[in-house]
A and B are shown apart, each in its own frame.
Chain A
């Protein structure tokens, strides 16, 4: 039986049009995986010598154990956003003559061999091997390695339980954030020192190997919990059925003042709010807003004026770039409707443009408090906003006419590259980097004001010729209309 399951898995992976179509994307993912593996490997190899050198009096193993808490917490949070129990694929298996228990064991067992569980091994094994060479007791090292892997699996199965529970309560990622930050706070403010407790526990186990039975029991318990939880839901009206949300109707009457683009604007706002994938681009906006805080408080940064342009474009344009990149793929699910309805293409595109403009202005207004770090920042943010509205938004719309990738709106966003084609990657960098160049040249040869004015003038030109540019862009969309329709018609 397992043979068939593995065979399906293999076919599912290699026959998905995903794999066949976007080799570039797979190479990118491959590099990312390689990067993480190397990082962990370097970590595993270097941590012992580094700790030995920095803290010659302490035992590196004990120190590492003291930090395990943070690793586990980080691992748990990361998994929550990126790892998912693949239950939906088993629907066709239900009516076949298979025992439910073997389906369940297969689904749960499969999750144990995911990339997330292999990654830590790249750090665990080198560190453990070094321990052996450094004259630690061989049993101690082996038990430590085994224990770390058991913990990895515990996190694996714990994550699915948290995911299942938060899905039931409709709170999406709030519980995990609350739990993680709660634990972190308890530990950080030394109300309960969990990291010390965990460290002591690990130390106790490696010095007394029989105690390893405790984490093994925890693991078995979690597996059983997952098993029971899944078993309850293994019906087509259970978790196999996509969840129906309760619809909330909103009027959005204020959009009326935008005239004939109002219906599209309303549609876009609903699109953003009611679908998982675009909704997360709203959350990214919040992150983007605080992005400046990572740089501005640092005094050395104040001298790197061109870098402020980068942050400015980023802060005022983060929504624009995130949303604009996938025009018109956001509407790919019902593109045929839009193309056969009584719609002028230009109106449709203008609505997207307006949304991007509004976002840029709003982000600028919200970023005004950065003036605390100097008026130059405010001036550059303003210039960046004008540049984004005049140039970047048009570039994004133009780039969209090359978009041939469907987006399934119900999929989640983190590490979901659905809809991204090579063009989207290529377009991303110039949006952020070219304005720096436009600023830097006059800044270098004349002065700061000249750089700011250059950006504003360039953006201004884009705004003045908006109608002309839109006519050109509309023509591009009309030319590629049929190609887009047929591309959006294909399922990934």
Chain B
């Protein structure tokens, strides 16, 4: 589904990302881990054509992302708070995204009803603008918005950060269901090794922009990752 070849990004002399080849098949749940500055967000930004690659290209479903905009209809992402429109209420934001993805208000209302538990009565119908919600609730709204319209590719940067424990557990279940039921290609990054091994069937470790490990998740994966990072 997503294929990057000879992909690299340099700022001045500093190479922040250098991936000769990486292919993520359709329906895979793909986890990206690495310390600060490893290049996780850079990679996601490149997938979304938010920054220009220095060399190489990214193909999303055979569409080169910086050549055509046709990957947008089936791709959704939540990278950070700048994906939220602060002066809208969460409902208005969902309706807006829904409209861009061809869903009307009623569709969105039905869609949102399945997230009642995650929202925990703190998001819908609160007469608050997104900019005034707490960080955790902003994150919930952003993640849910990224799932609107059953996109084939979902990219989430650090989805578990800032969430309360209950929501973390619910989100893990939700993300697992997503790849199993809908055949969604899911890309997440995380600093929490436990979460990412639980959700993802494949885990790639980045260090200073280079892939150092590419693992099929198994019983031993968490141990292996912990050993790697505890150095």
Residue A335 is within 8 A (CB to CB) of chain B in the complex: yes
Residue B128 is within 8 A (CB to CB) of chain A in the complex: yes
Residue A14 is within 8 A (CB to CB) of chain B in the complex: no
Residue in B52, B87, B100, B131 whose beta carbon sits within 8 Å of that of A271 in the complex: B87
Taking a contact as CB atoms under 8 Å apart, the answer to whether B50 and A482 are in contact is yes
Which residue from chain A places its CB closest to the CB of B87 in the assembled complex?
A274
CB neighbours (8 Å) of A242 from chain B are 132
CB neighbours (8 Å) of B108 from chain A are none
Taking a contact as CB atoms under 8 Å apart, the answer to whether B83 and A342 are in contact is no
Residue A334 is within 8 A (CB to CB) of chain B in the complex: yes
Residue B69 is within 8 A (CB to CB) of chain A in the complex: yes
Quick one: given A343-B72, A482-B52, A485-B51, are A246 and B82 in contact (CB under 8 Å)?
no
- B189 to A: closest C-beta gap in Å: 16
Residue A337 is within 8 A (CB to CB) of chain B in the complex: yes
Residue in B48, B76, B85 whose beta carbon sits within 8 Å of that of A267 in the complex: B85
CB neighbours (8 Å) of A337 from chain B are 82-85
Proximity string of chain A (355-396) to chain B, C-beta cutoff 8 Å, 1 when within and 0 when not? 000000000000000000000000000000000000000000
Residue A237 is within 8 A (CB to CB) of chain B in the complex: no
**CB-CB contacts below 8 Å: B50-108 with A:** 50-52, 69, 72-73, 75-77, 79-80, 82-89, 91-92, 96-97, 99-101
CB neighbours (8 Å) of A489 from chain B are 82
Quick one: given A340-B77, A342-B101, are A334 and B51 in contact (CB under 8 Å)?
no
Proximity string of chain A (434-449) to chain B, C-beta cutoff 8 Å, 1 when within and 0 when not? 0000000000000000
Residue B129 is within 8 A (CB to CB) of chain A in the complex: yes
- B31 to A: closest C-beta gap in Å: 20
CB neighbours (8 Å) of B127 from chain A are 246-249
Residue in B51, B92, B132 whose beta carbon sits within 8 Å of that of A270 in the complex: B92
Taking a contact as CB atoms under 8 Å apart, the answer to whether A263 and B96 are in contact is yes
Quick one: given A263-B96, A334-B83, are A339 and B89 in contact (CB under 8 Å)?
no
Q: How far is the CA of A193 from the CA of B178 in the complex (A)?
A: 76
Residue in A247, A334, A485 whose beta carbon sits within 8 Å of that of B85 in the complex: A334
Residue A244 is within 8 A (CB to CB) of chain B in the complex: yes
A-side interface residues, number (CB < 8 Å): 34
Taking a contact as CB atoms under 8 Å apart, the answer to whether B128 and A247 are in contact is yes
Residue in A245, A247, A334 whose beta carbon sits within 8 Å of that of B82 in the complex: A334
Residue in A249, A262, A266, A267 whose beta carbon sits within 8 Å of that of B89 in the complex: A249
CB neighbours (8 Å) of A412 from chain B are none
Taking a contact as CB atoms under 8 Å apart, the answer to whether B84 and A340 are in contact is no
Residue A486 is within 8 A (CB to CB) of chain B in the complex: yes
Residue A466 is within 8 A (CB to CB) of chain B in the complex: no
CB neighbours (8 Å) of A275 from chain B are 87
**CB-CB contacts below 8 Å: A437-492 with B:** 481-482, 485-486, 489
Proximity string of chain B (116-130) to chain A, C-beta cutoff 8 Å, 1 when within and 0 when not? 000000000011110
- B71 to A: closest C-beta gap in Å: 10
CB neighbours (8 Å) of B101 from chain A are 342
CB neighbours (8 Å) of B198 from chain A are none
B-side interface residues, number (CB < 8 Å): 35
Taking a contact as CB atoms under 8 Å apart, the answer to whether B50 and A485 are in contact is yes
Taking a contact as CB atoms under 8 Å apart, the answer to whether A333 and B91 are in contact is no
Q: How far is the CA of A242 from the CA of B128 in the complex (A)?
A: 13
Residue ranges of A at the interface with B (Cβ–Cβ < 8 Å)? 242, 244-249, 262-263, 266-267, 270-271, 274-275, 333-337, 339-345, 409-410, 481-482, 485-486, 489
CB neighbours (8 Å) of B126 from chain A are 247
Query: 3 tightest CB-CB pairs across the interface, nearest first?
Result: A244-B132, A274-B87, A337-B83
Residue in B69, B75, B131 whose beta carbon sits within 8 Å of that of A344 in the complex: B69
Taking a contact as CB atoms under 8 Å apart, the answer to whether A336 and B73 are in contact is no
Residue in B72, B86, B100, B149 whose beta carbon sits within 8 Å of that of A334 in the complex: B86
Taking a contact as CB atoms under 8 Å apart, the answer to whether B72 and A341 are in contact is yes
- B126 to A: closest C-beta gap in Å: 8
CB neighbours (8 Å) of A340 from chain B are 48-50, 72, 75-77, 83
CB neighbours (8 Å) of A244 from chain B are 128-129, 132
Residue in B77, B83, B96, B129 whose beta carbon sits within 8 Å of that of A245 in the complex: B129
Quick one: given A342-B100, A342-B101, are A336 and B79 in contact (CB under 8 Å)?
yes
Taking a contact as CB atoms under 8 Å apart, the answer to whether B52 and A270 are in contact is no
Q: How far is the CA of A489 from the CA of B97 in the complex (A)?
A: 21
* 26 sampled A-B residue pairs with Cβ under 8 A: A244-B128, A244-B129, A245-B129, A246-B127, A249-B89, A262-B99, A263-B100, A266-B96, A267-B85, A267-B88, A333-B86, A334-B82, A334-B86, A336-B50, A336-B80, A336-B82, A337-B83, A339-B48, A339-B49, A341-B97, A342-B73, A342-B100, A342-B101, A345-B69, A410-B131, A482-B50
CB neighbours (8 Å) of B97 from chain A are 341
- A367 to B: closest C-beta gap in Å: 30
Q: How far is the CA of A485 from the CA of B50 in the complex (A)?
A: 7
Taking a contact as CB atoms under 8 Å apart, the answer to whether B49 and A245 are in contact is no
Q: How far is the CA of A279 from the CA of B88 in the complex (A)?
A: 15
- B142 to A: closest C-beta gap in Å: 9
Q: How far is the CA of A61 from the CA of B51 in the complex (A)?
A: 66
Taking a contact as CB atoms under 8 Å apart, the answer to whether B51 and A486 are in contact is yes
- A276 to B: closest C-beta gap in Å: 10
CB neighbours (8 Å) of A333 from chain B are 82, 85-86
CB neighbours (8 Å) of A248 from chain B are 127
Taking a contact as CB atoms under 8 Å apart, the answer to whether A336 and B129 are in contact is no
Residue in A246, A334, A344 whose beta carbon sits within 8 Å of that of B84 in the complex: A334
CB neighbours (8 Å) of B99 from chain A are 262-263
- B110 to A: closest C-beta gap in Å: 19
CB neighbours (8 Å) of A271 from chain B are 87
Residue in B51, B69, B82, B128 whose beta carbon sits within 8 Å of that of A335 in the complex: B82
Q: How far is the CA of A344 from the CA of B73 in the complex (A)?
A: 10
Which residue from chain B places its CB closest to the CB of A339 in the assembled complex?
B50
CB neighbours (8 Å) of B88 from chain A are 267, 270
Q: How far is the CA of A48 from the CA of B216 in the complex (A)?
A: 89
- B51 to A: closest C-beta gap in Å: 6
Taking a contact as CB atoms under 8 Å apart, the answer to whether A409 and B69 are in contact is no
Taking a contact as CB atoms under 8 Å apart, the answer to whether B72 and A267 are in contact is no
Interface centre among A262, A339, A342, A344 (most CB of B within 10 A): A342
